[in-house]
Amino acid sequence: MTPQTLPTSGTRNGLSSAEPAIRVVDLDFSYGDKQVLKDVTLDIPANQVTAFIGPSGCGKTTLLRCFNRMNDLVPGARVTKGAIVIEGANIADREVDPVQLRRHVGMVFQKYNPFPRSIYDNVAYGPRTLGESKKAALDEVVERSLRRAALWDEVKDRLDDVATGLSGGQQQRLCIARTMAVDPEIILMDEPCSALDPVATARVEELILDLRQHYTIVIVTHNMQQAARVSDRTAFFYLGEVVEYDTTRKIFENPEKKRTLDYISGRFG
Amino acid sequence: MENPEQLLRKGVHHEALKQGAVKAVLGGMAWGVVLIALLIFGRICWDGAPVLLKPEFPFVDTAFLTEKTETLHVFDDASGTRHSLPASEYHGWVEKHGAESIFNETTYSYSGGGIAGPIVGTALLTLLSIVLALFFGVSAAIYLSEYAKDGAFIRWVRLAILNLAGVPSIVFGLFGFAVFVLAAPVFTDTPSERSLLAIPLGFTWFSFQGWNSSLIAGSATLACMILPVIITASEESLKAVPQGFREASLALGATRWHTIRKCVLPFALPGILTSSILSLARAAGETAPIMFTVAVAAKDDFPWEGATGPLGVLQSQVQALPYHIYTLAARIPSSDYTQRAQYGSVFVFLLMIFLFSTVSIILRNRVRSKLKW
């Protein structure tokens, strides 16, 4: 499917005419018989931070994991209707190679998960997987990625230390650096700060704001203050549907739907 | 202090007596088992250690470990002195003194010389079978844990593997005999007459005529026997590797196989090695599977002597310690002259398994310390 044949949904969300990085059109998704996403339609603009908020089980993480086909790992999980268009291709189509896709769409997980190897090897893992073996090239990628993740100054003297010896916040930033090392266009973050203390969280949030200029970032979060702090646009999910999707300012200051207001003001959820 | 209801009072509570009895019975069982084990090991060490160890430097009777098995000749000479000589020295003695100066001669098979043949045989068998079992077992475990979709069929496969672990070893021996010794395929220019099926390939024949009684047939049989344990334990170790490693690797654009090779298998290795340590001892110790497939009671040369290349070694028959111990115990009458070989073999065998296990555990711990998460 090419983007030309798709209905243009950009205007509905009040987006500018610039090509969105991810376009979700009428998406239905099920785990076996259980439908978890219904008619999800939204455009995620490039080089902005888009936050998904909503109560647990509302499908926001599922949608995120659709963007790089991580749901392929779950038996019985499949897109039953609609399309997800990234770079002109419908990646929900089974024929799109998930390996290729994931090189364009990186992901940072809820629980920081560096490999129990050296810091250097962690960052170099992606490039090495792609076949880069020259020491100089790897050194350069590692340094650039770690600098971008604002971690270089903290670890430059101990790149050979085991990554699991770092603090939680450092480990999560290392995971972000590792993701950036394969040079994706889009970075998905699944509650990246839920296992971190407030100080480490602040550093990661700072980093997210910095990274916006290089990457399109989609972040799932349970922390509404976090969504308000880091995101440009926010989508509120409830029971598998997008209730409201607009600029973060609009969602938090003047939501259109009552349910959104109830949620962000803490009346349920 | 007043305590009218006597809820808390001094003296032995009858519950406590019962608890004490239970503890005593359970403890008695545990210590009883330890005691029996100690008695067995004590006896073996008491009688076996003097064979291998000696009071003066180098404290080990290396001849017992490095010499081949020989027949022991016991006889009186003309002056009535009793001699006990292994066959090689006996012939020299006869040449020197003449056959007529030998009286009251008895011979004891396999009781002279050393046990180098069985030691080498067991070492080769164990090593080869563990390599085979690890290769096939880990491959199967990777498929079951990483690729197979959970369904009725896979559950049946798992059940079958578990059941295989309970099959008696003699059944494996017969299976190995029927499959590896008699029916396994080989490339040969002249198919044997009892070949089940010979397929001409032009330049040679692909003939299902078996591998005969050989090191490779015995190792394959032993590998089949320990395979279930290795598969099950490897699968558990693979499953214990955090899902996060797989997800992280896949999310970086690695293929599934790359992920398994770099991010799953290395971290499952300590667990896999632990299971193979147990299997190693079992493979080394089994007699039944090798009786029909590789072991011989007497053999005058090492497997590599007279063999043409590594393939020749694989095709040769070997002696093996457990079978040798069985032969010594069951086939020859016990006497003062045979005890040296009998107890010595058992003692060496115990030491050897202890050594195998120790080396494996050290190796495992080194791997583990390098790959911790």
Q: pLDDT, tens digit, for every residue of B36-52?
A: 999 999 988 888 888 78
- In the predicted structure, residue B1 carries a pLDDT above the cut 70: no
The pLDDT tens digits for B101-118 are 777 788 888 887 778 888
Q: Between chain A and chain B, how many beta carbons pairs sit less than 8 Å apart? A: 68
The pLDDT tens digits for A148-161 are 898 999 998 999 99
Q: Sort B314 into a burial class: Cβ within 10 Å, 0-12 / 13-18 / 19+.
A: middle
- State which residue of chain A sits closest to B147, comparing Cα positions: A73
Q: Sort B339 into a burial class: Cβ within 10 Å, 0-12 / 13-18 / 19+.
A: middle
- In the predicted structure, residue A10 carries a pLDDT above the cut 60: no
**pTM (two decimals):** 0.81
- In the predicted structure, residue B292 carries a pLDDT above the cut 50: yes
Bridge partners (DSSP) of residue A90 are A85
CATH number assigned to the domain with residue range B116-148+212-370, chosen from the 4 options 3.40.50.12780, 2.60.40.10, 1.10.3720.10, 3.40.630.30: 1.10.3720.10
The pLDDT tens digits for B119-130 are 888 989 999 999
- The beta-carbon neighbor of A70 closest among B245, B251, B262 is B251
Measured CA angle at B98 (ends B93, B104), to 5 deg: 80
- State which residue of chain A sits closest to B255, comparing Cα positions: A99
* A223 at B interface, C-beta within 8 A: no
The pLDDT of A106-121, averaged and rounded, is 91
The pLDDT of A102-120, averaged and rounded, is 91
- The beta-carbon neighbor of B253 closest among A115, A116, A129 is A129
SS3 state at B12: coil
The residue ranges of DSSP E strands in A125-232, in sequence order, are 186-190, 216-220
- State which residue of chain B sits closest to A123, comparing Cα positions: B252
* pLDDT, position A172: 92
* B373 at A interface, C-beta within 8 A: yes
The pLDDT of B78-90, averaged and rounded, is 80
The percentage of chain B sitting over the pLDDT mark of 70, rounded to a whole number, equals 96
The pLDDT tens digits for A48-94 are 999 999 998 888 999 999 999 998 888 888 899 999 999 888 998 88
The pLDDT tens digits for A24-47 are 999 999 998 899 999 999 999 999
- Domain A3-264 - what CATH class? alpha beta
A125–B252 C-beta distance less than 8 A: yes
Chain B residues 139-178 with CB within 8 Å of chain A: 149-150
The pLDDT of A252-260, averaged and rounded, is 90
* Cα B312 to Cα B215: distance, rounded to the nearest angstrom: 10
Q: A264 with A254: CB under 8 angstroms?
A: no
Q: Sort B170 into a burial class: Cβ within 10 Å, 0-12 / 13-18 / 19+.
A: middle
Share the mean pLDDT of chain B. 85
| pLDDT band, very low/low/confident/very high, at B372 (cuts 50, 70, 90) | low
Domain ranges for chain B: 69-113, 116-148+212-370
Beta-carbon neighbour count of residue B223 at 10 Å? 27
* Helix locations, chain B, DSSP H: 14-52, 62-66, 87-97, 116-142, 152-164, 169-176, 215-240, 243-251, 256-259, 265-285, 288-291, 309-315, 321-330, 339-370
First to last CA, chain B: 57
How close B252 gets to chain A, by Cα (Å)?
6
Collect all residues with Cβ–Cβ distance below 8 Å to A19 and sequence separation of at least 6.
A46
* Cα B219 to Cα B206: distance, rounded to the nearest angstrom: 22
- Range in A167-181, B54-68, B331-345 with the lowest mean pLDDT: B54-68
* Cα A97 to Cα A86: distance, rounded to the nearest angstrom: 13
- The beta-carbon neighbor of A70 closest among B149, B245, B247 is B247
What angle do helix axes A119-129 and A168-180 make, rounded to 10 degrees? 20
| pLDDT band, very low/low/confident/very high, at A147 (cuts 50, 70, 90) | very high
* Cα A12 to Cα A40: distance, rounded to the nearest angstrom: 13
**ipTM > 0.90, yes or no:** no
How close A230 gets to chain B, by Cα (Å)?
23
How close A111 gets to chain B, by Cα (Å)?
8
